[in-house]
Amino acid sequence: MENNSTIRLDAIDLQIIKLLQKNARITNKELAAQLDLTITPVYERVKRLEKTAVIGQYVALIDADKTGKGLMALCMLRLEKHTKDKLAQFEAHVAKIPEVTECYHLAGQYDYHLKILVKDMNAFQDFIVNKLSTNENLANIQSSFVMKKITDTTAVPLE
């Protein structure tokens, strides 16, 4: 995750972000009403937040269980070699696998942490054998399976 220079955000910007994190479909008119502002300054602030990539994109959050992807696995991976080329090759490989919904490069005991969404254990085994382990630089995979989500948010804490 790259950390470009921090954008200066005032209290109104933070309020706008909080409201958009709760409901990305809120209109500028509704934002303005909740912030006790007129529409034009709210529109300009939202556009600035988009232009500076504070707001990266707007998405719909989908229930994986309802789409037949009810098994979530968290995989911790170690690689054999850690050269710049080998890391880039692994990351390109993983980025092409649709079951990998999140991938983090780590410091510590493991090199990568992956979040995997599949239908069931058979689909997970197929994912490991036919997709993930086809990368020859993979040294070790440690998988855990989510029994229950306690908290699950995409919101960035702003307090």
* Tens-level pLDDT at each residue, the chain (159 residues): 445 678 899 999 999 999 999 999 999 999 999 999 999 999 999 999 999 999 999 999 999 999 999 999 999 999 999 999 999 999 999 999 999 999 999 999 999 999 999 999 999 999 999 999 999 999 999 999 999 999 989 999 997
What global pTM score does this model have? 0.86
d(CA 79, CA 90) in angstroms, rounded, equals 9
- The secondary structure element, H or E, covering residue 104 is strand 100-105
Q: Where exactly does CATH 1.10.10.10 map onto the chain?
A: 11-52
CATH of domain 11-52: 1.10.10.10
- CATH 3.10.129.10: does it fit domain 64-145? no
User: Which residues belong to CATH 3.30.70.920 in the chain?
Assistant: 64-145
Amino acid (one-letter) located at 17: I
In whole angstroms, give the CA distance from residue 42 to residue 21: 15
